[in-house]
Amino acid sequence: MKMQNFEESIYNLIVETSTNLPGDVRRAVAKGRALEDRATRSGLALTTIAQNIGMAELQVSPICQDTGMPTFIIHTPVGVNQIEMKKDIHSAIIRATKNGKLRPNSVDSLTGENSGDNLGAGTPVIHFEQWEEENVDVRLILKGGGCENKNIQYSLPAELEGLGKAGRDLEGIRKCILHAVYQAQGQGCSAGFIGVGIGGDRTTGYELAKKQLFRKVEDVNPVEDLRKLEDYIMENANKLGIGTMGFGGEVTLLGCKIGVMNRLPASFFVSVAYNCWAFRRQGILVEPATGNIKEWLYESGTGISVDEAAPAVSVPAAEPADAAVGSREVRLTTPVSEEEIRSLRVGDVVILSGEMHTGRDALHKYLMDHDAPVDLNGAVIYHCGPVMLKDDEGWHVKAAGPTTSIREEPYQGEIIKKFGIRAVIGKGGMGPKTLQALQEHGGVYLNAIGGAAQYYAECIKKVNAVDFMEFGIPEAMWHLQVDGFAAIVTMDAHGNSLHADVEKDSAAKLAQFREPVFK
């Protein structure tokens, strides 16, 4: 049986999921904001996040530029043609990518070639299950690579940093979940949500963990022990002091959902699926005769503000709403001098104007052995894979938030030294090799707010040029004219790193949870 309007329904589901956070997620963000001092770095980050949510909804553009691996879980009644459904899903994916609602994210693992349309071996992910209901249930999650990389799986018993031995019991599970939050730090775009799968094998454990992310934020676990554990994690994970974006603060976790399945006697896995604050999942109930949407399965976010001071759909100026305590606001124009950079300290809010250049994994690898296509002396490199659309007037930026920087740690220090780069913008911070290079050669790391793709796109006034399109749109080197681009100095030219300080502090706090809680 062919559902005539199913492709259109899937396209609408993709657009809604990518551009409009559901109501339960918005309320969780609003609750987190209420717990955080607005005049701190984490408070600034949450303010920016709130503004970005509204901008994405109003402009019907991606909340975050990394639209992740589209993953569908579909329940169908007997007799529905799943082969035709899959074809319609592929058509909707192609259309959504062409229209800038999804970033082209499907990359050949051997050649590195981007398919350009989000189709390829294994992408998108589609799980079909039959059921005895009369309607088709379609759920979609868009989980970006930054938070996907912070997923983690434990095999119990295990020895965990700061927490000691984790055994094959509720206490061991508790320690694994706390450690999972700790190890993510700010690299998964905290404050985030986690799904936990207890049991299964290595594959089904991760599947169970990701399925927990389809639960509603405000539901109650029907298993009493797991309900208590969810409540415990929500109360205590925020005592680690990691905070939004890993800046330090009161709000690190916005949601925790735990599921359990049977296991082999020899295996005991605890699998954790980490999701960023841009928790993009939605679902539809579809009429099988026509393919029309009968019902949206998660509450719409429209009209639900995450900022009590302003409606969610107001469009802000692309300026920082608050300065962090003790910070300065410094305006810089590229190219930037070494003297200007060495005057900056951790905590300063930098407002950049001029030209900056995007660069991710493919570019950094290339630059290790080749010259750059432009002069990078005094330049700013932005770890960003934007969503781009082209028309008769040229390229336009549709979404442009930062990607996780730690992936470039093997290259960054050498590239700073080789080309005279003065500032690197990204999220989540970098390691000791980069910190040493910043100190020796006069550079800073600027932490932008992860997921704030519309907020930063507003600052980009023009696409000056592009190089290396053969790398694919996310990995190409885009030369962007910006004005009022705000980010926070978290690693400076004096050997200071906010990320190292927060990690050290949170490690000390993690140790307080060594002793048993559940008898």
pLDDT by residue for the chain (519 residues), tens only, comes to 678 999 999 999 999 999 999 999 999 999 999 999 888 889 989 999 999 999 999 999 999 999 999 999 999 999 999 999 999 999 999 999 999 999 999 999 999 999 999 999 999 999 999 999 999 999 999 999 999 999 999 999 999 999 999 999 999 999 999 999 999 998 989 999 999 999 999 999 999 999 999 999 999 999 999 999 999 999 999 999 999 999 999 999 999 999 999 999 999 999 999 999 999 999 999 999 999 999 999 999 998 888 653 333 333 333 443 444 457 899 999 999 999 999 999 999 999 999 999 999 999 999 999 999 999 999 999 999 999 999 999 999 999 999 999 999 999 999 999 999 999 999 999 999 999 999 999 999 999 999 999 999 999 999 999 999 999 999 999 999 999 999 999 999 999 999 999 999 999 999 999 999 987
The answer to whether residues 367 and 384 belong to one domain is yes
The answer to whether residues 265 and 362 belong to one domain is no
Q: Residue 259's domain spans which residues?
A: 145-275
The answer to whether residues 183 and 290 belong to one domain is no
Q: What is the pTM of this model?
A: 0.94
Please say whether the beta carbons of 385 and 407 come within 8 A: no
Residue 40: inside a domain, yes or no? yes
Query: What's the confidence (pLDDT) of residue 317?
Result: 37
**CA triplet 434, 399, 12: central angle to 5 degrees?**
135
The answer to whether residues 151 and 136 belong to one domain is no
Please say whether the beta carbons of 365 and 414 come within 8 A: no
Residue 243: inside a domain, yes or no? yes
The answer to whether residues 382 and 496 belong to one domain is yes
Q: What is the CATH number of the domain that holds 484?
A: 3.20.130.10
Residue 518: inside a domain, yes or no? no
The answer to whether residues 300 and 428 belong to one domain is no
What does the CA dihedral 214, 215, 218, 219 come to, rounded to 10 degrees?
170
Could you give the strand order of the β-sheet that contains 152-155, starting from the edge strand earlier in sequence? 152-155, 269-275, 192-198, 253-260
Q: Round to whole Å and give the CA distance between 43 and 30.
A: 12
The answer to whether residues 404 and 493 belong to one domain is yes
The answer to whether residues 305 and 419 belong to one domain is no
Give the distance between the most distant pair of CA atoms in the chain: 70
Q: Round to whole Å and give the CA distance between 62 and 456.
A: 12
Residue 320: inside a domain, yes or no? no
Q: Tokens for 513, please give them.
A: 């949870």
The answer to whether residues 126 and 227 belong to one domain is no
Residue 319: inside a domain, yes or no? no
Residue 324: inside a domain, yes or no? no
Q: Round to whole Å and give the CA distance between 486 and 456.
A: 8
What lies within 8 Å, CB to CB, of 98 at 6+ separation is 117
The answer to whether residues 32 and 137 belong to one domain is yes
Helix, strand or coil for residue 163? coil
Please say whether the beta carbons of 60 and 15 come within 8 A: yes
Residue 323: inside a domain, yes or no? no
Q: Round to whole Å and give the CA distance between 466 and 479.
A: 6
**432-441 helix and 409-419 helix, angle to the nearest 10 degrees:** 10
Residue labelled with tokens 């800073």: 444
The answer to whether residues 221 and 335 belong to one domain is no
Residue labelled with tokens 């539901």: 219
User: Beta strand pairing status for 136-143 and 69-76?
Assistant: antiparallel
Q: How many domains does the chain have?
A: 3
User: Beta strand pairing status for 444-447 and 477-491?
Assistant: antiparallel
Q: Round to whole Å and give the CA distance between 246 and 189.
A: 8
